[in-house]
Chain A
Amino acid sequence: MKSLTNIIIKNSKRQEIQETLKEKILSFIAFIIVFGFLTVTMISISYTVTYKLKEINQTYTFINILLLMNFIILFAKSVFESLNVLYFSKDLKQLLKMPIKPKDIVHAKLINMIISEYQMEIIMLAIPMIIYGIIMRVKILFYLYILITLIILPIIPIITTSIITAIIMRFSNKLKNKAQVMYITIIVTAIIIDFLFTGFKPISVSNYEFEKAILEKNGVATIISNQFALLKPIMNTILNYNNIEGAKNLTIYILESLSIYIVGLFIISKVYLKGAIGTTINSKKAKKENKKLTINDFKQEKANKAYLKKELRTILRTPIFCIQCIIIPLIYPLIILSVLIIAIILSKNMGVNITEKLLEIINTSSGQAIFLGVAQVFFMMNFCSIIGISKDSKTAILTKTLPMELNNQFDIKTKIGKRINLLSTVIVTFAYYYTVQNINASIIVFSILYLMNSIGENIKLLIDIKKPQINWNSEYTMMKQNTNVMNVLFYTLAVLMGLLVISKIIKKANIFLVTLLIISLVAYLAITNYINKNQNKIFRKIY
């Protein structure tokens, strides 16, 4: 069983066979930079938050929120992880042929899933906790408890979602339709999580309770731990690390996790085989739909439109692509817009004119750089173009044989990303117009953002084409192991730095905007020209 676990873990790692030493070194440097950037960001946030909370005697709140946040992220991730690792990984066909008990396969795969979460936990949990520990000058035992927490925290989310997934897969009649199973699993998991956390009771704390908690030392932390029963033992473990309560709660949480693991392993093993076999064979069930072909099934469309439709269908019919390429880039700007509207309404009620405050900021070139920077961060969240080639898997090779200009295919592949980013462009422009009430300046801002969006999407696709990840086991692993995403972060940082530098050089807001428009236009034309002239060279790595 140990060797099976090792093989599954090794197999889950991305392996670039043709990577040269230079590329390996560059990848390593890129990883260090991104890891370093995330670490510094987490350190800075943790430091600020801990200090602010220390001033009001609520430092434990930080720990509880951190644990809660990690727990929710782990749950969300494990929906995709459990489906892809347990049911839709390509090793399944081989494993099912071997004389291995389902229990052993499930055990090896569960361990693989748990271990794969540690990397995220180091950044999102361990680093903030260590910063907290340094500021609060905790004893060495605190760090030991953090280490144990890090190891056992993913168990409950992964096993719970895996049980849900296994049961759905066992009784699903549409085994081959991964997308539907995934959407069903997401909904069922969300309902179960809600039940596990709150028992369907709305989280309600009266003003009086909250005011009282604020005055008590770590009162807010107690409110949080009382609301989330499942996490209470682990929260209490960290909070009481220096007394017997801590050890007691840790024991409870370890026992909870182990029990869930054992029960989960038993349940999943019992229902696993039928669901797993179902994903590897053809669905022979009769479909209700009419199978007869008529002339209505064949409608002629222009080649470009047909290609765009094909791209859109691939994204919409793959949940992980749909979430990363459409839902997230549409939802985040809307959330920010809602927050902005609420802030404006609330501030008006409180007699504060938030627009004036914004106007003070926006009248400087730095303020305008911030506005444009916000849009650039929204653009970063859109994965359409960074997986433009990789999402097609090996079919990307087949598209090269089509009688369609490669630069045309390139353009179509970036179209969806560009269109989705239009929402962020409009929202940021609207916020800008609302503040400055200047139509000309707003048109320039819109034009700059439009160009920034087009340049960004082109660059993202160029990154993907330069190092396409077309040999993947499942869509989820491709997304998870796609190191190209790191380069988007670099690109965004470079744009933000560029905006900052230009705003420092050109202090006058109007001149800053016009200069930026010219720079964006030149950059856009240069990159379009490069793509048109080097289409064969650009697509060379796809074979």
Chain B
Amino acid sequence: MIEIKNVSTSYVKGQKIIDKMNLKIEDKTIFGFIGPNGAGKTTTLEMITGVLQIDEGDILIDGKSIKKDPIEAKKLFGFVPDSPDMFEKLTGIEYLNFIGDIYKVNPKQRLEIVEKLSRELNIYNHLKERIQSYSHGMKQKLLIISVLLYNPKNWILDEPMTGLDPQASYILKELMKEHARKGNTVFFSTHVLEVAEKICDKIAVINKGKIIYTGSIENLKEQVKNDASLEESFLELIDRKKE
């Protein structure tokens, strides 16, 4: 479970980019985080994962504060960033071993998980090559495997489908569903509304650093207009806030 409690942050003093945000992502949920470019999606995820400092409020991961107890909180999530910038000079296997060492995953478990997932995601034959030779999608796949390697309870993914081929995209969606079914949390940002519509149990819409909607997709559609698509509802919601 991820709880965002009254959180604010700013890059420049006095200019809040996230303003008093409150959000609760329950277990057994796939939670979509939707918003236009520059709305604050990545900033929010970076605050949850401890990359960005929180000016006010707090964020709890399974009850552990990222502010006060960052190490314990960081053990409880796996993060896939939007741009798969990784240690390009390492080979895929060296990177996975690095993550395995940090999260103390035993070699047998590493072999099993890496073998299974890398074959499914079709990068098995490239794991001994340097990451610098990987395409965007391959880097994304490697990041996903690295997160699944230590199987954290909470998955936090920033635009995870970007750069993935249809097969990998399908597999990831299935993995997300399975993870939530097992009682865990999946929190991901996206601007692809079809993806959100297909797999999310709940969504939050963010605009200009503020949450403007939290709930199910069905509710959102009902609030806006009956029989509207998620895309229409989303645009309507954003327009309303502009007014």
Contacts and interface: CB of A to CB of B under 8 A. Distances in A.
B85 A298 contact: no
Interface centre among A297, A317, A392 (most CB of B within 10 A): A297
A402 interface: yes
B173 interface: no
A543 interface: yes
Nearest to A310: B98
A294 B127 CA distance: 12
Nearest to B105: A300
B97 interface: yes
Contacts, number: 122
Interface centre among B75, B108, B130 (most CB of A within 10 A): B130
Contacts of A294: 111
Given A295-B111, A540-B53, A543-B51, A397 B81 contact: yes
Interface stretch (A199-207, A232-240, A247-255, A282-290): A282-290
Chain A: number of interface residues, binned into ranges? 35 or more
Interface string A268-304: 0000000000000011000101010111011111110
A307 interface: yes
A289 B128 contact: yes
A397 B89 contact: no
Interface string B110-151: 110011001000001101111011110010000000000000
Contacts of A178: 132
B170 interface: no
A5 interface: no
Contacts of B110: 298
A297 B103 contact: no
Contacts of B86: 395, 398
Given A293-B118, A298-B110, 16 more contacts: A18-B11, A176-B130, A282-B134, A283-B129, A287-B129, A298-B114, A299-B107, A306-B98, A309-B98, A313-B89, A397-B51, A398-B81, A400-B51, A401-B50, A404-B71, A540-B53
User: Closest 9 interchain pairs by CB?
Assistant: A306-B101, A394-B85, A403-B74, A298-B107, A176-B133, A317-B89, A298-B110, A403-B75, A401-B49
23 contacts: A176-B130, A291-B128, A295-B108, A298-B111, A302-B101, A303-B101, A310-B87, A314-B90, A393-B88, A395-B85, A397-B51, A397-B81, A398-B86, A400-B51, A401-B50, A401-B51, A401-B79, A403-B70, A403-B71, A403-B75, A404-B71, A536-B53, A542-B51
Interface of B: 11, 46, 49-53, 70-72, 74-75, 79, 81, 83, 85-90, 93-94, 97-98, 100-104, 106-108, 110-111, 114-115, 118, 124-125, 127-130, 132-135, 138
